[in-house]
Amino acid sequence: MNDKTLNIAAVQYDIQWLDKAANFAKLESMIRDFFSGYDGQVDLLLLPETFSTGFCLDDASVKEPEDGGEDLLWLKKMANKYNCVVAGSVFVEHHDKKANRFYWVSPEDHVKYYDKRHLFRLGNEGGYVAQGMERKVFEIKGIRILPQVCYDLRFPVFQRNVIQRNVTSKDRSDYDVMVNVANWPAVRRNVWDTLLKARAMENQAYVIGVNRVGDDGKGVAHSGGTCVIDFKGEPLVQAEDDKQQVISWSLDMSALVQFKKDFPAYLDADDFKLK
């Protein structure tokens, strides 16, 4: 992994409430404009939580078929058009509720997903959304990525970089980059900024946070905070507050490997198992 880089782009925008056509059109315009001025290959293109509809819990119709619908087809189209993994969350049917599903779609139409584990109690998300039961790690070019969604950020045990004691490789942690896609409200923006840095430092990993801007259909304001943070908790790039913008960065995996070699605090982490 030493000589590898992960080229990422993240879209911060004002999600239009329950208007998929408008959201797809806006995203396509922003992404097209970004790529027209971008010299190089993007490996991973990230979108906010519930990027096609906004965070609408109490409308039972706001969900895709579990075997794929309009949102997934659009993600596949974008992944193929720009030859990169495209990822973001949508609501999908799941038993008698729906899941807040983080889709991970490759240019080859390979689809993986992670269902949001921690459901926002204050907004009664658990009343409408089924809890995800499995922690997952995805890969691009051998670089390991932990997907998380919004409220997950508050729960460090679930995001702990697990030490694999029986692995013979030099780096025995289980991921290199954590990604959190969100609809994180402006009123709690300081928590977002602080916890993203904390997760990077405590896990010795790159962290990417992708948030929206603008007011949603419930009148909740969002100020953004989309950013890339390095393994020391230092911001590498950050979108402007309250602005629709695509940011990008090339994550240097050799720098991460060297830092963990020079400061191998992760090897002293406590053993534990998630139930």
Give me the active site residues, please. 49, 116, 150
Q: CB of 23 within 8 A of CB of 221?
A: no
Angle at 198 between CA 136 and CA 225, to 5 degrees: 85
- Sheet with 44-46, strands from edge to edge, namely 111-115, 97-105, 85-94, 44-46, 5-12, 245-252
Report which of 175, 256, 238 is spatially closest to residue 4, judged by C-alpha positions: 256
Whole-angstrom Cα distance, residue 40 to residue 155?
Answer: 35
Distances (CA, A) of 34 to 130, 153, 156: 35, 28, 33
* Alpha helices (H) along the chain: 20-36, 70-82, 156-159, 189-203, 253-262
Up-side HSE of residue 171: CA atoms within 13 Å toward CB?
Answer: 23
E strand or H helix at 113, and its extent? strand 111-115
